[in-house]
Amino acid sequence: MRRRLRLRWDALLTLLLGATLGFLLYAQRDGVAPTTRAPRAQGRAAPGPTPRLRVFQIPDAGAVPQAYEEDTPPEPPAPTRTFDFGRYLRAKDQRHFPLLINEPHKCRGYGAPSAGPDLLIAVKSVVADFERRQAVRQTWGTEGRVQGALVRRVFLLGVPRGASYDWAEAEGEGKQTHWQTLLRAESRAFEDILLWAFDDTFFNLTLKEIHFLAWASAYCPDVRFVFKGDADVFMHVGNLLEFLAARDPAQDLLAGDVIVQARPIRAQASKYYIPEAVYGLPVYPAYAGGGGFVLSGATLRRLASACAQVELFPIDDVFLGMCLQRLQLTPEPHPAFRTFGIPQPSAAPHLRTFDPCFYRELVVVHGLSAADIWLMWHLLHHPHGLACAHPRTVATGPFQWGH
C-alpha cells in the first residue's frame, strides 16, 4: 500500500515538474519577461497602456544573454579577433581627437539665423558606407521643414583603420588617398559630414559619442531636440515630431528602447565580452538601445558635461547609460522605438513583418538595408495612401499584433 502511494506521489510530482518546465520554455520562446513601470512623463499624459522597459533575465553562470547581442549596431564591423583590453586600458585616456571635416554652420540657415533647429538628426556611419548615407538623405533624413519643424542632419565618421590621419598635410601636398578625395567631394556636395581623427572601429563608437556631444554643444547650442541613431534604421520623422510636440526642450528627456538589468558578458568568444577588471558590477545601468534614441537640448548639454567626467567604456550605449546615471536621470521607454527590429510573432509565423501598416505606427526600426529603407519610405508615402484595415495614429502603448 505504501509503495503504491509513493509511486502515485512520484508520478504526480513528475507531472507537475513537467508542466512547470513546459510553461517556462514556452514563456522563454515567446519573449515573456518581467517588466517595470516606466516613469511618468512630464507634460501631457499619453493615453494607452504603460510603455515597457526591456528587461534581461539573469542567466546561469557562463551563459550568454542572446537578446543583448542584437542591440549594438553592426557598423563599424565587430572585431574579428580577441579584443586587446590591455591596449584599450592604456589608451583609454586619449579622448580628444581633431575634427578633420566640420560643418560649423549646420544649425543656421533655413530662415532661422538666430534660433537653432527643432530637430538635429545625427547618424553614425563609416566612410565606405556611402550607399546607406544616400538612402537616409533621400528618405527619412531629408533636411528642411517637416510638419513645420526645422530639421537638420549630420553623419558621424572616424578614419578608416590603417588610413593616414595627416589630412592637412595630404591636402597641401596633393597626395590625398582615394577615400579622402571621395569623402571631401561628398562633404562639398551635401554639407553633412563630420569626420574625426580616430580609428572608426567597433569599440571606438564611444569616442564618436563624446565627440558628437561636444560638437553639438558648441555648434548647435540652441537645438531643441536631437535624434541619434544608426545608418541602418528606419525613422518615422512625423511620428517622432508628434511625440516631441508636447515635450519641453528645456526639460530633461532621453527616450528610446530602454534596457534594464543587462548583465556584462563574461564569455570571451562574444564580441561584447567585458572582463571584470574593466567592469566589476553585476549589471549595467539602464540605457537606451544605440540603434536610435531622442534627447532634448537640455539633456544634450548636460550629457556633454557628464560624459567628459565618466571613464570611457567600450560599449557606447552602455557608456551613455553610465553618463545618465551620473546625472541621476532615468531614460524614458517608448514602445515605438524598435532597436531589436520587429520580432516575428510565434502565433503568426506566416505574418510579414516588413509591412508599412506596422511601420507607420513606429518611430524607429533597426536593422534595415539601404534598399529596405528606400522601399519602406516610398510605401509609406504612396500618393494613394495605405490600405490598412484599422487606420489609427502613432502607437502610444506597447506594440501589439493584430490591431
Q: Which pLDDT tens digit goes with each residue over 173-193?
A: 556 788 999 999 999 999 999
Q: Strand pairing partners for 296?
A: 225
In this structure, what C-alpha cell is assigned to residue 359? Answer: 511601420
Q: Are 363 and 256 in contact (CB under 8 A)?
A: no
Mean pLDDT of 140-155: 96
Distances (CA, A) of 56 to 78, 223, 250, 343: 22, 34, 32, 16
pLDDT category at 8 given cuts 50, 70, 90 is: low
Q: Mean of the per-residue pLDDT values for the chain?
A: 78
CA distances from 53 to 116, 152, 234, 256 (A): 32, 30, 21, 10
**Does the pLDDT of residue 289 top 90, yes or no?**
yes
Cell triple for 5: 502511494
For residue 129, what is its C-alpha cell? 558606407
**pLDDT of amino acid 268:** 85
Of 149, 145, 153, the residue nearest 103 (C-alpha): 153
Q: What is the pLDDT of residues 243-257, one digit of tens each?
A: 999 999 999 999 999
Domain residue ranges of the chain, discontinuous segments joined by +: 96-165+177-341+350-381
Pick the CATH number of 96-165+177-341+350-381 from 1.50.10.20, 3.20.20.10, 3.90.550.50, 3.40.50.2030: 3.90.550.50
Tell me: pLDDT of 41 over 50: no
Average pLDDT (297-308) is: 96
| Per-residue confidence (pLDDT) for residue 248, from 0 to 100 | 97
Partners of residue 52 on adjacent β-strands: 37
pLDDT tops 80 at residue 87:
no
What pLDDT, on the 0 to 100 scale, is given for residue 213? 97
Tell me the whole-structure pTM to 2 decimals.
Answer: 0.76
> Is the pLDDT score of 94 beyond 90?
no
Say whether pLDDT at 370 is over 90.
yes
CB 119 within 8 A of CB 226: yes
Distances (CA, A) of 186 to 57, 68, 204, 336: 45, 35, 23, 32
Contact 361, 390 (CB under 8 A): no
Question: Residues 25-53: what's their mean pLDDT?
Answer: 37
Contact, 255 vs 245, CB < 8 A?
A: no
CB half-sphere exposure, 115, CA atoms < 13 A: 11
User: At residue 323, does pLDDT exceed 90?
Assistant: yes
Instruction: Give the residue among 343, 331, 332, 330 at the shortest CA–CA distance from 399.
Output: 343
Check: CB of residue 394 under 8 Å from CB of residue 361: yes
Maximum alpha-carbon separation in the chain: 99
Residue 62's SS3 state is coil
